[in-house]
């Protein structure tokens, strides 16, 4: 987000984040693309990394959902947060049917990603869905494109760390944790995050993502 972009958003009606051919309503999407997202049903993703908890995603990373997620992340279109959060909410409903009383732990952005977007995109999307506990931090890591699942798992383990004071407080609640991320691919990030929380004595029976690649 920069001043020029802010100004453009202020004075011109923004295009739909998905099809770009129609003006967006306040949701960042046109009516047709908003309906496409609403028509999605949660899917069970099967992570290639076996140590990952089971993941329920709001839908497949394709079509309107992929477009909207990219615009949200890469162009900081925060107005898409409620639509994407709605998908997380439906995924969460599937999980909480089996895991009641869960706390939500978002996968953190690296400091650089947060700075360039201007906000924490995962935490923002799941605001209002439940009791959010940000107890993980991310260090910079190399782009995971082209890495094997084993290499991704190693990179994810190296990148994430827990804030001990916060994980201790979380463990003291004795409540289970549902991890939250934007996209699940191999499940390496979820596996690494779950391992850190489990080391602190926290149960991590499931994870949710906006989309499954
Ligand atoms: Zn559209």
As residues whose CB is below 5 A from the ion ligand 1, the structure lists: 16, 18-19, 22, 30, 33
pLDDT, one tens digit per residue, over 72-87 is: 999 999 999 999 999 9
**Helical ranges in 79-163 per DSSP H:** 81-98, 111-117, 121-125, 149-159
Domain 41-212 classification at class level: alpha beta
Tell me the whole-structure pTM to 2 decimals: 0.90
Q: How far is the CA of 185 from the centre of ligand 1 (A)?
A: 25
Q: Is 136 left (phi over 0), alpha (psi -120 to 50) or beta?
A: beta
pLDDT, one tens digit per residue, over 142-193 is: 777 788 877 877 888 889 999 999 999 999 999 999 999 999 998 999 999 9
Q: How far is the CA of 78 from the centre of ligand 1 (A)?
A: 16
Report the C-alpha dihedral over residues 174, 178, 180, 185, rounded to 10 degrees: 130
Q: How far is the CA of 36 from the centre of ligand 1 (A)?
A: 9
Measured CA to CA, the distance from residue 49 to residue 40 in angstroms comes to 25
């Amino acid at each position: 987000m920069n001043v020029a972009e802010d100004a453009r958003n202020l004075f011109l009606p923004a295009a739909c984040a998905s099809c770009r051919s129609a003006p967006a309503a306040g949701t960042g999407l046109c009516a047709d693309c908003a309906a496409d997202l609403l028509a999605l049903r949660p899917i069970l993703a099967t992570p290639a990394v076996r140590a990952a908890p089971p993941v329920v995603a709001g839908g497949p990373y394709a079509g309107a959902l992929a477009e909207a997620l990219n615009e949200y992340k890469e162009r900081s279109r925060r107005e898409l947060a409620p639509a994407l959060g709605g998908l997380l909410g439906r995924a969460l409903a599937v999980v909480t049917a089996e895991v009641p009383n869960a706390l939500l732990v978002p996968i953190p952005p690296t400091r650089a990603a947060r700075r360039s977007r201007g906000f924490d995109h995962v935490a923002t999307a799941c605001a209002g869905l439940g009791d959010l506990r940000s107890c993980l931090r991310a260090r910079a890591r190399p782009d995971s494109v082209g890495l094997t699942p084993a290499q991704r798992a190693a990179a994810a383990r190296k990148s994430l760390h827990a804030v001990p004071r916060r994980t201790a407080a979380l463990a003291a609640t004795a409540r289970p944790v549902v991890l939250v991320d934007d996209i699940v691919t191999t499940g390496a990030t979820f596996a690494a995050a779950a391992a850190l929380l489990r080391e602190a004595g926290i149960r991590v029976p499931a994870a949710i993502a906006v989309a499954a690649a």
